[in-house]
């Protein structure tokens, strides 16, 4: 299956160079130079994955993501300036699946794209699909997860998760009470030897807690063990 990637950046040099690199790898690309134009297209004709620059005129990447998440959960990767840690944290908190700091390696970007697409079952082998179907639902107390359909509920209420959030929660829920280090969660959510620092996992955990507390203000099933990692409690 050929995946379609939407690129949103006001720098035409980046649009052109990244588009050529992706097309060489077999992807179909759509290019947008501003957030306002991109938003309507992304909603009306969703791609398999989108890549947003954060700093853009008229509508920046954070606002574009906020509006997009009201209508769509397509995977999103942010491109951000190297020192903009606040932008990175905000992007992940708002529901981005990943971010890459500029200047970036196109090889790294393509590896991240393939990893996210593979996890979202948009690019996968028949064997992977069969494994997902055979895994069956995960039921842990009030939590229910269906990996084959990418569905999550808490006490019967639907909770919409990004691909990365789903993978992290699934890893924790598979073995309740067992502590998972940040490295183990990174390995589950980011494959192909891709390096991701600690604050990325922490930001996803914060986002997971926030989403579940929207349906249950008393949600406390994801526990932090300082200096060790995280664990899921189904008590």
Q: Domains of the chain (ranges plus CATH)? A: 4-124 (3.40.50.2300), 138-232 (1.10.10.10)
> Tens-digit pLDDT profile for the chain (235 aa)?
689 999 999 988 889 999 999 998 899 999 999 898 899 999 999 999 999 988 888 888 889 998 998 888 889 998 877 555 555 566 666 778 888 877 777 888 888 888 788 777 643 444 444 444 445 789 999 999 988 777 899 999 999 887 788 889 999 999 999 999 988 888 777 655 455 555 778 888 988 999 999 999 999 999 999 888 999 998 7
Is the Cα torsion angle 158, 163, 165, 168 positive or negative in sign? Answer: positive
CB under 8 Å, gap of 24 or more: what pairs does 175-184 form? 175/232, 176/140, 176/231, 176/232, 176/233, 176/234, 177/231, 177/232, 177/233, 178/231, 179/225, 179/228, 179/229, 179/230, 179/231, 180/229, 180/230, 180/231, 181/228, 181/229, 182/229, 182/230, 184/229
Task: Give just the sign of the alpha carbon dihedral 193, 194, 197, 203.
Answer: negative
Three-point CA angle 22, 24, 30, nearest 5°: 40
Predicted TM-score of the model (pTM): 0.60
């Amino acid at each position: 299956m050929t995946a379609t990637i939407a690129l949103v950046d006001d720098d035409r040099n980046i649009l052109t160079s990244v588009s050529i690199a992706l097309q060489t790898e077999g992807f179909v690309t759509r290019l947008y130079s501003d957030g306002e134009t991109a938003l309507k297209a992304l909603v009306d004709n969703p791609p398999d994955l989108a890549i947003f620059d954060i700093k853009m005129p008229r509508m920046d990447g954070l606002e574009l993501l906020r509006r997009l998440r009201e209508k769509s959960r397509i995977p999103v990767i942010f491109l951000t300036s190297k020192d903009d840690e606040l932008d990175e944290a905000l992007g992940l908190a708002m529901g981005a699946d990943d971010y890459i700091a500029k200047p970036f390696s196109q090889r790294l970007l393509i590896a991240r794209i393939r990893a996210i697409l593979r996890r979202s079952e948009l690019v996968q082998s028949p064997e992977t699909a069969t494994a997902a179907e055979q895994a069956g639902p995960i039921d842990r107390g009030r939590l229910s997860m269906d990996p084959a359909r990418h569905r999550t509920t808490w006490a019967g209420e639907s909770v919409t998760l990004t691909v990365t959030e789903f993978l992290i929660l699934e890893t924790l829920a598979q073995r309740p009470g067992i502590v998972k280090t940040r490295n183990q969660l990174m390995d589950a959510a980011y494959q192909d030897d891709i390096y991701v620092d600690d604050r990325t996992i922490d930001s996803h955990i914060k986002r997971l807690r926030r989403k579940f507390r929207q349906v249950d203000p008393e949600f406390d099933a994801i526990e932090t063990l300082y200096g060790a990692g995280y664990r899921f409690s189904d008590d």
